[in-house]
Amino acid sequence: MKTHTNVSLTLQNLEKNFSKVQALALSGVSLHFEVGMLHGIIGPEAAGKTTLMRLLAGLLAPSKGTISYSIDGVVASEFETVRPLIAYMPERQSLYADLSIKEHLDFFSKLYELTPSEYKEKQERLLSITRLGGFLERPAGKLSGGMYKKLGLICALLRSPKVLLLDEPTNGVDPISRREFWELLYSLRQENILMLVSTAYMDEAERCSRAHLFQEGKLLFSGIPSELLVKHRAKDFNELFIKQAEQRVC
Amino acid sequence: MLEVRSLSVYFGDFAAVKKVSFKVSKGEIFGLLGANGAGKTTTIRVMCGLLIPTEGEVQIGDTIFGKNNNGNNNNSAELIKSRIGYMSQKFTLYDDLTVEENWKFAASLRNMNNGIYKKRCDYLNQWLSLGDRTKQLVGKLPSGLKQQVALAAALFHNPDIIFLDEPTAGVSPYARMQFWNLIKILASEGKTIIVTTHYMDEAENCERLSLMRAGEIIALDSPEKLKHSTFPHGIWGLAEEKIPPCLREEKTLSMWPCGLNYHMVTHNLAHWEDLKKQHPILANATLVAPTLEDVFLELVEGRSR
């Protein structure tokens, strides 16, 4: 894999419905995601965040519209070209409760066919930035919520992805673990990875370079967090969502 | 209304809760905060009568349970179960049952007779203005309404104390605001509310907060007083890219990311002035209002950074 590969992503009128009787899970979403930025997919439950992540990971097919990945400026004609560059971390990640951190890394390094030297270099770097090095022998089932999420992330990062899709990685973890997780994401910004992070924590919108706000399957707003707040005269994203809801009620 | 006295819980040699004491008044909204493993859930399990403490006792009204002074179990916990309601974000309702069926099930667990059930059903239906939505499957309701229905299920037996475990996790800000309006009405009617949450903006709704670390209470006060006592000199905010790298190694300065800025705290104003002379860029830092998350990070994680 070339290390200088840049991947960007464009959505055109993306739509997903799971049944004819239910409301659309996603409707009319058009967005462009630039590499090197931390993109937040922000919204409450049932906003369409997980559906979007699963579509982008190739686990679901759109009902309408297009998802175009570009590699170094050239649109990939086949999703299979992009698939090896993508790492997807679902909200409820299936790690093996009885396997230790070390055993997980060994397992995933074999899965991704890393050479021993590649594995050694990546393992050292990832354990250092996640501060999991002191817990190598601890089984995943005995890790705290925050450590479990970090293990999921480093397993995903072992394959050196160029697109990182993280579905609610900080859900249910305490504020300290949340902060550590975001510091970890900041440290990855230098690595030319297209990062999309979904969250229902409104305050996390302000930690992203670009915030994309969703509600009930629709894109409400998209832009630089501080500019969005100024534009909509809201002190934070909670207030912005409340204002929107009140306008709809009226 | 509720008092926890010198409560300790050991699992083998591990002290999950250590000598915890606090009082909660009737009609108060009281929050229990702490990192994972701080002892919040263990404390709540004792207060609900689900776990016998190793030491200490709980008093709810006139009922005392736990260990008495002779170290014997006082098993009055059964008496208080009818006075307690519990609502969790994770599992309180069955999606494949209607609102009414869920409520009926909750009432049957409390051996409620049909007459009382109907009265409570009418009362709660009116309170939440649900109308015919009580006939709908819970799985088809929007998440905000689901939370209100779950709250009603916890209120069916008209408890005095209501425990809320991350009650609005994942719910939209508007629905969350509506939910907390309901909670404030309940508190104004004399219900005592005990909340545990990782959402700091949810914790802002509490009148007092108790912050736990490693089984102990390390702070207990109103949100505003906690902010002021933790940061008497305020917090300085500066954009991340403007922070000189060497400043990150500065041991006398607490520093953490918040939004796109870094929040910085020093407990010695003279030292801050010295730092500004060494790093003129710090003159661009602005005083920002501390958040509860700032308080949490500072008190729970310590000032070692």
What is the DSSP code string of B105-171? HHHHHTT--HHHHHHHHHHHHHHHT-GGGGGSBGGGS-HHHHHHHHHHHHHTT--SEEEEESTTTT-
Partners of B296 on chain A (C-beta within 8 Å) are: 175-176
The residue of chain B with its CA nearest to that of A200 is B170
Residue B161, pLDDT above cutoff 90: yes
pLDDT tens sequence across A168-177: 998 878 888 8
CB of A34 less than 8 A from some CB of B: no
Q: Residue B302's pLDDT band (boundaries 50, 70, 90)?
A: low
Quickly state the pLDDT bin for B147 (edges 50, 70, 90): confident
For the cut 70, the answer to whether the pLDDT of residue A91 exceeds it is yes
Percent over 70 (pLDDT), chain A? 97
Statement: residue A13 has pLDDT above 90: yes
A187–B contact, CB cutoff 8 A: no
**A38: closest chain B residue by CA:** B260
Mean pLDDT score, A10-34: 89
Taking the complete model, does pTM exceed 0.80, yes or no?
Answer: yes
| Residue for token pair 């990640």 | A93
Interface of B with A (CB under 8 A): 34-37, 142-143, 166, 169-175, 177, 198-201, 240, 256-260, 293, 296-297, 300-301
Q: Using CB atoms, pick whichever of B143, B169, B260 lies closest to residue A226.
A: B260
Distance CA B133, CA B141 (A): 9
Of A227, A236, A172, A232, give the one whose Cα is nearest residue A204.
A236
**Cβ-contact A129, A187 below 8 angstroms:** yes
Residue spans of the domains in chain B: they are 2-226, 232-289
Q: Does residue A165 carry a pLDDT above 90? A: yes
Q: Is the pLDDT of residue B152 over 70?
A: yes
Is it the case that residue A109 has pLDDT exceeding 90?
yes
Could you tell me how many residues make up chain A?
Answer: 250
- Under CATH, what is the fold of the domain B2-226? Rossmann fold (3.40.50)
Q: How far is CA B273 from the centre of its chain?
A: 37
pLDDT at B26: 96
pLDDT for the residue B72: 64
The fraction of chain A above a pLDDT of 90, given in percent, is: 56
What integer pLDDT is reported at residue A106 of this predicted model?
Answer: 96
**C-alpha to C-alpha distance for B291 and B265, rounded to whole angstroms:** 13
Contact A25, A48 (CB under 8 A): yes
CA A51 to chain centre: 12
Could you tell me if B236 and B265 are in contact, meaning their C-beta atoms sit under 8 angstroms apart?
yes
Instruction: Give chain B's mean pLDDT.
Output: 87
What is the pLDDT, as a whole number, of residue A249?
67
CB < 8 Å to B200, chain A:
175, 203
B220 vs B240, higher pLDDT: B220
pLDDT-wise least confident of A109-113, A130-134, A219-223: A130-134
Whether A173 and B36 lie within 8 Å, measured CB to CB: yes
Q: Which of A213, A242, A247, A249 is best to mutate for the B interface (most B CBs within 10 A)? A: A242
Judge whether residue B304 has pLDDT over 50.
no
Q: Which one, of A59, A203, A204, lies nearest residue A195 by Cα?
A: A204
**pLDDT number for residue B74:** 67
Mean pLDDT calculated for residue range A122-143? 89
* pLDDT of residue B305 exceeding 70: no
Amino acid letter, A223: G
pLDDT at A18 > cutoff 60: yes
Whole-number mean pLDDT of chain A? 89
CB contact under 8 A, B174 and A172: no
Does B266 score more than 50 pLDDT? yes
Reported confidence tier of residue B278, pLDDT bands at 50, 70, 90: confident
Structure tokens at B57: 């006792």
Rounded mean pLDDT, A79-108: 92
pLDDT for the residue B259 = 65
For range A221-231, the mean pLDDT: 93
At residue B303, does pLDDT exceed 50? no
A24: pLDDT strictly greater than 80: yes
For B298, nearest residue in chain A (alpha carbons): A176
Structure tokens at B186: 């309940």
B91-105 average pLDDT score: 90
| Position B68 confidence tier, pLDDT thresholds 50, 70, 90 | low
- What backbone phi and psi angles, to 5 degrees, belong to A51? -60, -45
The three-state secondary structure class of B90 is coil
Q: Is the pLDDT of residue B187 over 90?
A: yes
Reported ipTM: 0.75
DSSP string, chain A: --TT--EEEEEEEEEE-S-SSSPPSEEEEEEEE-TTSEEEEE--TTSSHHHHHHHHTTSS--SEEEEEEEETTEE-SSHHHHGGGEEEE-SS----TTSBHHHHHHHHHHHTT--HHHHHHHHHHHHHHHT-GGGTTSBGGGS-HHHHHHHHHHHHHTT--SEEEEESTTTT--HHHHHHHHHHHHHHGGG--EEEEEES-GGGGGGSSEEEEEETTEEEEEE-HHHHHHHTT-SSHHHHHHHHHHHHH-
Chain B interface includes A227 (CB < 8 A)? no
Q: What is the mean pLDDT of residues A42-69?
A: 94
